[in-house]
Structure 1
Amino acid sequence: MTRCLATLSIFVALVGCSTPSPINTQYADQTVVIIHGLSKSERNMNTVKQGVMAAGFSACMVDYSSVWATFEDVLESVDQQVDQCAKETKHLHFVGHSLGGLLSRAYLDDPDNQATKQKLGRVVMIGTPNHGSPLADKHANRWYAGIVGEVPRSLTSDDQGFSQQLPTPDYSLGIIAGTSHYIVTNHLFNGPNDGLVSVESTQLANMTDFIELDVGHMAMPHDEQVIHQVIHFLLNGEFEH
């Protein structure tokens, strides 16, 4: 019972656009859209925002409610905010943590957003379950799964999972995977993982670059080495290996 409750709390953790105001203005005409993960808020990505602004980019935070929400509501909210972020910038980059990476993919795949996609520069995904998560598989059909809404249940690795509905990205994409697992969830994985997402699940066939870091899933948006690699990819189109 204790293990069940612990893994449920971590499962929930898996899954407004602010005015850009960069610390320096070297890349002020390039806006980085920053999207948080499941059950979090834009505050969870403040360290990422500070990092990209210190590097000279403009930053635009996307906020959405993912618990007790429909996926349609989430996608609509993200679309509206990204559209606003894109209005007054020449180049647009994306940085998404966990579910935020999938929402970046969904936005860029939408035919209605192709004009905005013409401004696209680079995309970084941090701990994103691009092929679902066994943690979602374990809890998706339990009686309590519906309590938190349909979004967490969509992160399964089967054919019904949200990630399986998205096409393979066709843009410059850097993927960061964590390898610091959690004791209460490690038994669900067959290989390296960050506690919520396996290293294998983060990867996509045509990713531009990939790097593994010894960080846990929930710590990734606040980790110094993660932020360093995000900035390095945005500036150079590759990670620092």
Structure 2
Amino acid sequence: MDTFHLKTDEKVHLIGHSTGGLVIRKLIANSKYVHKIGRCVLIASPNKGSRLANIAGNIKPYVEIYKTLKSLRYESVAKLNHNDETDIEMAAIAGNHNNLLLGKLIGGVNDGRVEVESVYLPHLKDFMILPYGHKDIHHQPETARWVDAFLRTGKFQ
């Protein structure tokens, strides 16, 4: 599909969890339809890369099994440039409930998979931290309420 069937003034809002947020950023960087994208919310997305992916990426069998690890490493994510000249309003939600052994391995404040500092980007319109882990933050009613608020108003309220 290479066309959007939207009215002239309609825009699509996008929400992505984890790698899904990176897919949104890639779309924004490379799409000829960027003018049709309204607001975006990135949930627990490793926007600056993943320390865990960098660690696991040094273990060859892991890279063979988990092919997406390469795309989550610092140097790969650094290539996803956001075009600040767009009208897209973007926000991010990070989690800080580290209940996994992997979270202990990566250190810092994290959600068990992604560090809070990696979720934050300077050009975000809004940013918040919720008390959830990586595998459940996107299933929480509270997260859905904050996403809805941002998509409606352009800020977390």
- Give me the TM-score of the superposition, normalised by structure 1: 0.59
Q: Could you tell me the percent identity over the aligned residues?
A: 32
The superposition leaves residues 27-82 of structure 1 with CA deviations (integer Å, 9 ceiling, x where unpaired) of xxxxxxxxxxxxxxxxxxxxxxxxxxxxxxxxxxxxxxxxxxxxxxxxxxxxx5xx
Question: Which residue pairs with 2:41 in the alignment?
Answer: 124
Q: CA 1:169–1:194 in structure 2 vs 1: closer, same or farther (change >3 Å)?
A: farther
Question: Who is 2:27 aligned against?
Answer: 107
Q: Check 1:226–1:108 CA distance in 2 against 1; reply closer, same or farther (3 A cut).
A: same
| TM-fit CA distance, 1:182 | 2.5
User: Aligned to 1:150, what secondary structure does the other structure show?
Assistant: coil
* Alpha-carbon separation, structure 2, partners of 1:235 and 1:130: 23
Of structures 1 and 2, the larger Rg is shown by 1
Q: For 2:154 and 2:70, how far apart are their aligned partners in 1?
A: 33
Deviation at 1:100, TM superposition (A): 0.4
Check whether the contact 1:169–1:206 (CA below 8 A) recurs between aligned residues.
no
The correspondence of residues 11-30 of structure 1 with structure 2, limited to 5 A, is: none
Q: Counterpart in 1 of 2:5? A: 87
| AA aligned opposite 1:218 | K
Structure 1 residue 104 displacement after superposition = 0.4
**Which of 192, 195, 200 is the equivalent residue of 2:112?**
195
SS at match of 2:109: coil
Residue in 1 that maps onto 2:154? 237
Q: 1:164 aligns with which of 62, 71, 78?
A: 78
**Is 1:136 paired with 2:53?**
yes
Match of 2:68 among 151, 157, 163: 151
**TM-score, normalising length: structure 2:** 0.88
Runs of 4+ in 1 over 3 A off after TM superposition: none
Superposition CA RMSD, Å: 1.7
Give the residue type in structure 1 aligned to 2:67: E
Tell which has more relative contact order, 1 or 2 (C-alpha 8 A, sep 6+): 2
Deviation at 1:133, TM superposition (A): 1.1
* Alignment gaps of 5+ in structure 2: none
CA distance in 2, matches of 1:234, 1:96: 13
Contact 1:168/1:204 (8 A) holds in 2? no
Quote the Cα distance in structure 2 between the aligned partners of 1:147 and 1:105: 25
